[in-house]
């Protein structure tokens, strides 16, 4: 299936795919958010486009995410506004105008109970998705900026992974989500990360750098199991996902539309 954005929509910013695989939402620089639904046979799929009334005039959204169970949808704007919607009813659970200075990243927990979000100013907040109550702001030192966030997915260890820029050093920190206390950190990629991903079985964590490197980390040991330097030399990796059937096979999308 193929769809070409209208010139008036501007450029694509980000995409979130529903866990069912039947639909996805995209945000553009000028056109707000649009819902795309897949229909038809597998050999002849087609796309239908629908508007999302709560996000019709929302402006550019930096982050879009569906909860793991598909019952929640969150959008974080360039303007720092957070919206959490019930899916598919689109009932507004939270509409926080000043959630952040400007959104950088977000992720839902495995049980869909929490949403973690980070800001361009280096702060990170935790939200209850049931009612949109802001639980807390993660503690950080004055020289630290929290950039990316991903929850663990193995179902046994409730952790939140965050990439942190500490002065001129890039580290990966781990938070226990039962207390939201930081329980450790480690230098993995060794440079600022542009993207982070966790495998569906929760065994691996992947980091992509702003100059084209990737490393894959075994979560249990927090040790690098695979490192590919200069995979996309000089190009920031914009998207990094694990294939469902093989933990170490990665799908890469980098700026410049290279694969």
pLDDT at 46: 83
Q: Which long-range contacts (CB under 8 A, 24 or more apart) does 27-32 make?
A: 27/60, 27/61, 27/62, 27/64, 27/75, 28/60, 29/60, 30/60, 31/5, 31/6, 32/56, 32/57, 32/58, 32/59, 32/61
Taking alpha carbons only, the member of 195, 179, 109, 186 closest to residue 151 is: 109
pLDDT at 255: 47
Other residues' Cβ atoms within 10 Å of the Cβ of residue 155: 10
Model pTM score: 0.91
CA distances from 68 to 9, 21, 36, 164, 182 (A): 28, 12, 19, 25, 24
DSSP state for residue 9 in the 8-state scheme: G
Q: What is the dihedral of CA 95, 99, 104, 107, to 10 degrees?
A: -60
**Would you list the domain boundaries of the chain?**
1-119
CA distances from 79 to 62, 174, 193 (A): 9, 28, 23
**Side-chain-side CA neighbours of residue 140 (13 Å):** 25
DSSP state for residue 7 in the 8-state scheme: G
pLDDT tens for the chain, 259 residues: list them. 666 777 777 888 999 999 999 999 999 998 789 999 988 877 777 888 998 999 988 999 999 999 999 999 999 999 999 999 999 999 999 999 999 999 999 999 999 999 999 999 999 999 999 988 899 999 999 999 999 999 999 887 789 999 999 999 999 999 999 999 999 999 999 899 999 999 988 999 999 998 889 999 999 999 999 898 877 667 888 888 887 765 544 545 444 444 4
CATH 2.130.10.10 assigned to domain 1-119? The reply is yes
């Amino acid at each position: 299936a193929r769809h070409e954005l209208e010139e008036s929509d501007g450029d694509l910013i980000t995409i979130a795919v529903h866990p069912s695989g039947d639909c996805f939402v995209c945000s553009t620089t000028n056109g707000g958010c649009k819902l795309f639904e897949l229909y038809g046979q597998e050999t002849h799929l087609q796309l239908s486009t629908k508007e999302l009334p709560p996000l019709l005039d929302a402006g550019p959204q930096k982050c879009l995410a569906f909860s793991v169970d598909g019952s929640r949808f969150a959008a974080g704007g360039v303007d720092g506004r957070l919206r959490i919607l019930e899916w598919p009813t689109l009932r507004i659970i939270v509409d926080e105008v000043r959630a952040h200075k400007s959104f950088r990243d977000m992720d839902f927990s495995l049980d869909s109970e929490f949403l973690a979000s980070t800001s361009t100013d280096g702060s990170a907040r935790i939200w209850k998705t049931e009612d949109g109550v802001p639980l807390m702001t993660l503690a950080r030192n004055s020289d630290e900026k929290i950039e990316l966030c991903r929850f663990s997915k193995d179902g046994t260890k409730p952790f939140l992974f965050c990439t942190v820029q500490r002065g001129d050093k890039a580290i990966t920190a781990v938070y226990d989500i039962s207390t939201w206390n930081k329980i450790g950190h480690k230098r993995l990629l060794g440079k600022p990360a542009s993207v982070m991903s966790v495998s569906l079985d929760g065994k691996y964590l992947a980091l992509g750098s702003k100059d084209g490197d990737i490393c894959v980390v075994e979560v249990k040991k927090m040790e690098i199991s695979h490192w590919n330097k200069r995979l996309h030399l000089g190009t920031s990796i914009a998207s990094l996902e694990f294939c469902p059937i093989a933990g170490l096979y990665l799908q890469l999308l980098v700026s410049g539309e290279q694969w």
